[in-house]
A and B are shown apart, each in its own frame.
Chain A
């Protein structure tokens, strides 16, 4: 029987009248990677914080928060001692160098001197930072800082690794390196929970994805199922402003869903031939026929417009 590392039932958090997280339930199986997708302000970070006691949930009957067998409201230390957290900001100690930064955290986890040294050496090697061991923090690039924060979160060989937008603002090389490391960690039995805006990231590394919007769960499944269940297989993107009448042709009447914005019309369908035939008739227009991806699911689920929290 698969064992759950996280079991959440009816989790709520409100700030004043605003419901930041509303009646959220989800489960994370051991040794899997679970991803939270959602626009800014959806409540993803708040959920992460509630799991390790940085944020206090609303007290309600029926709420269950079980992380590694403990409730953060009662045993935050037990949870923290078995997990690692990578927050959105790179909150490193700028005054100290790379090794010193890690030593401070080795101390927090109660590691002895020798163990700490071995562990730091191993982690720097794992995240390909060995050459930077003695560097000052301000000499590091954004990608190195991020990897150092991840190394810091792995100091205690956590069973659960929580990452809040681990690759935001990083270049493709570093992003792929981090994905690769997360894959390796998962293989070794670490359970991973992450938030992201990158659909590709969710698709690449998550076994299960939960799409969140305005504090609520919109849908949750494997990335493949989300795609299959919620969006047509292909998308034809037509750039430029065209009158609506153009898209009223009979061949688009069935099995095609049309989404029109100012400068872009998207036609969704499972029938690629139908879309291709239509595209061929658009003389001189810029178009792009592609497979639908998680981003289409996401935008469909959370809407294209911005709300006041984004």
Chain B
């Protein structure tokens, strides 16, 4: 121990990394029960749809067979759901029930570091979950490599985007049951109306702008472009939307949640 008061503060990257590492460590502790479902879920989905539904859907959607269309959408919904669960129920439990954050905030990290570490972790889960879907889609020959290998990066960005939204919701929530409104009221509609199960162009003209507001729409466009290797200039708009969403909602979420951590 030294006698003078020179603090030994870990650099920013190290502080964010240690928050992220804590989550990775806890998540991988139950590797079997945590890492298997992301592979099983798309498998079940594709089996159900592929065996039952596709023979009735003969027309192509945006030049893709239905199973291709749906599969490329699932890459993003899995990222959306995992990140949203992590930053609603997961965050709330750490905040209110387990008091894990109280302990962490006694270590040399700020509330902002903690929240951003949380977002990065949710992004990583988005990466992993879309990677799992990618594996299944590849095995079944629905999408082809190597260009599709970039799609987990969009999974990461999507995870980050929904983490900011979920944390903002969490900052308002007083009891854990309130999250049901978020899942049923916002995420489920997004699953159906963001061009995952059918193209947005099939929506009535008046509703279509609403689909453009939904964040998932833009993730799905990017993922589909990567998997099909068909790019257009308008994708820059989708990418920009996501960046702005992350920035704006992220600022709000960090600001509000910080006041719950440090009061």
Enumerate chain A interface residues (CB-CB to B < 8 A). Answer: 52-56, 68-70, 75-82, 84-85, 87, 89, 91-96, 100, 103-105, 107-110, 149, 152-153, 156-157, 159, 188-189
Count of residues in B whose CB is under 8 Å from the partner chain: 31
Contacts of A93 in B (CB 8 A): 22, 26, 100
Tell whether, in the assembled complex, residue B98 and residue A94 are in contact, meaning their CB atoms are under 8 Å apart: yes
How close is A48's CB to chain B, nearest CB, in angstroms? 10
Cβ contact within 8 Å between A54 and B22: no
Give the residues from 100 to 118 in chain B that come closer than 8 angstroms, CB to CB, to chain A.
100, 102-110
Query: Known: A104-B21, A109-B10. Is A82-B103 also a contact (CB below 8 A)?
Result: no
Encode contact with A along B82-106: 1 for CB under 8 Å, 0 otherwise. Answer: 0000000000000000111011111
Residues in chain A near residue B30, CB distance under 8 A: 95
* Nearest CB of B to A71, in Å: 13
B10 → chain A, closest Cβ, in Å? 3
Q: Given that A87-B103, A100-B25 are known contacts, is A189 also in contact with B1, CB under 8 Å in the complex?
A: yes
B7 to chain A, nearest CB (A): 4
Q: Judge whether B51 is part of the interface by a CB distance below 8 angstroms.
A: no
Expressed in whole angstroms, the minimum distance between the Cβ of A239 and any Cβ of chain B is 41
Q: Which chain A positions have C-beta within 8 A of B104?
A: 108
Number of A-B residue pairs, CB cutoff 8 Å, is 101
Given that A93-B100, A96-B26 are contacting pairs, would A85 and B106 also be in contact in the complex, using a CB cutoff of 8 Å?
yes
A96 touches B29 (CB 8 A): yes
Contact of B102 among A70, A91, A108, A159 (CB under 8 A): A91
B16 CB to closest chain A CB, in angstroms?
11
Instruction: State in angstroms the CA–CA spacing of A79 and B105 once bound together.
Output: 12
Check B5 for interface membership: any CB of A closer than 8 A: yes
**Can you name the residue of chain A whose Cβ is closest to the Cβ of B11?**
A110
B262 at the interface (CB under 8 A from A): yes
**A92 proximity list for chain B (CB < 8 A):** 103
CB-nearest residue of chain A relative to B20? A107
Contact of B7 among A82, A105, A189 (CB under 8 A): A82
